[in-house]
Amino acid sequence: MQFLSSPAPSPRPGSRLLPARRNRNCPRPYACIAAEIRRRIDTGELHPGERVPSTRQIALRWGVAIATATKALSALRQEGLVRAVPGVGTVVSPSSAPVRPVRPVRPVRAAARTVGADAPDEAVRAGIVRAAIRIADAEGLTALTMRRIATKLDVATMSLYRHVQNKDELVALMADAAFAEEPLPEPREGWRAQLEHCARTQWKLYRAHPWLARTMSLSRPVLAPNGMLHIDRALRALDLLGLDDNTMLHTAITLFGYVRGTAADLETEEQANRDTGISGEEWLETQEEAMNALLAGGSLPAFAAIRQRPGVDISVQSLFEYGLGRLLDGVALLITNSQAPGGAPPRKAVRTERMRNLHRHVHSCPMEMNLLSGVQAETTDPDRPALKATGLVCRSPRAARHPGATGGQINIEGCSGSGG
């Protein structure tokens, strides 16, 4: 489909701009733009790895809105014809080949070989998950479809459903596999260092896989065992520090949620980079004039003043670092308060006090006390819960005659008298 009759201006190196006149008779401009780029890929005018026009270039050349240009590139990405490369822009996918009368036989890739009828289920599923992660990393989670994965693996779409039930299950497997890339080492440091290591590991994974943060819901969590290990590690780090169970669990999940929340915009920013071809920093520069006009109105005096002062710099990374530090400072204060006089005693101290109570109960009994193998002492006294586990019983005629004694078990109340 030919839209333009006039030749295009000289393109920049690494990019082939499309002609500058738009066909006014096209009912769906985005589809016509996509069709023209598709034609150039199919005929070999645009080679694999070569940049295609960005949304901004398409908008300028064709006189369409940014949304229309974005829709055109999204259609091509869903077909697998183009992909986004960080720092480069949108390029022709390596798998995109020019249309030929006879389709050449493509070499069998390792990932494709694993999706065969004779391959073990686990190996097949792992190959599908790896392919899905590569697609999501390059194009975002919205571009991930079973058909797209099947195209990448050179298999029939329906064959994938023998190994994964649906996209929801696939995303859960992807999240678990992503967290498995950075296993947590055995804890050897203090609680703060352990929590910080967990948070930084999560942040690193979210930066490597921008789609990952949005899959880790706190209200409807994905059952990803490798991700849940981060919660477990945080709980282990906080144990025996004087915090009650409820506070420990809230602290562990709040830390996880903080990192996830800070990373939530990473996928959106990555998508904007792919669609527009400009970075977030470059986009902010385009907004500078509008920002200055807004601040000049005087409605935001504090913000305008601090923005003009030297040394003020903010970024997603600086926000993560600042928030993590303050959150851990707050946890440190909680621990300090719990260990202060009048605060809740540490869990270790509680256990020690229970053992002391046990010894006091034992020594208050004037009868001989022995630890008898295979005999269990039962009690209804809530102040002595540890006695049942000790196996301590009274060896005396009085204890044996107690109405609560049956067979090899006796009621510990038979030991509570003050006489012989």
Q: Which CATH class is domain 110-164?
A: mainly alpha
- Among 117-121, 151-155, 320-324, top mean pLDDT goes to 320-324
What is the C-alpha separation between 144 and 214, in angstroms, rounded?
A: 14
User: Considering all CA atoms of the chain, what is the largest pairwise distance in Å, rounded to the nearest integer?
Assistant: 115
Q: What pLDDT score does 96 carry?
A: 53
Looking at the predicted structure, is the pLDDT value of residue 190 above 70? yes
What is the C-alpha separation between 114 and 116, in angstroms, rounded?
A: 6
**Which pTM was predicted?**
0.55
Looking at the predicted structure, is the pLDDT value of residue 376 above 70? no
Least confident range of 99-113, 116-130, 198-212:
99-113
Q: Do domains 1-101 and 110-164 have the same CATH topology?
A: yes
**What stretch of H or E contains 203?**
helix 191-208
- Among 141-150, 191-200, 310-319, 384-393, top mean pLDDT goes to 191-200
Q: What is the pLDDT of residues 243-263, one digit of tens each?
A: 999 999 999 999 999 999 999
Fold of 1-101: Arc Repressor Mutant, subunit A (1.10.10)
DSSP state of 244: -
**What stretch of H or E contains 330?**
helix 316-339
Strand-pair category, 410-411 with 377-378: parallel
Structural domain spans, the chain:
1-101, 110-164, 348-415
- Among 14-18, 105-109, 338-342, top mean pLDDT goes to 338-342
What is the C-alpha separation between 30 and 96, in angstroms, rounded?
A: 20
In the beta sheet, which residues pair with residue 83? 91
DSSP 105-162: PPPPPHHHHTSSTTS-HHHHHHHHHHHHHHHHHHH-GGG--HHHHHHHHTS-GGGGGG
Q: Which residue type, as a one-letter code, is found at position 329?
A: D
What is the C-alpha separation between 251 and 412, in angstroms, rounded?
A: 40
Q: What pLDDT score does 185 carry?
A: 85
Looking at the predicted structure, is the pLDDT value of residue 348 above 80? no
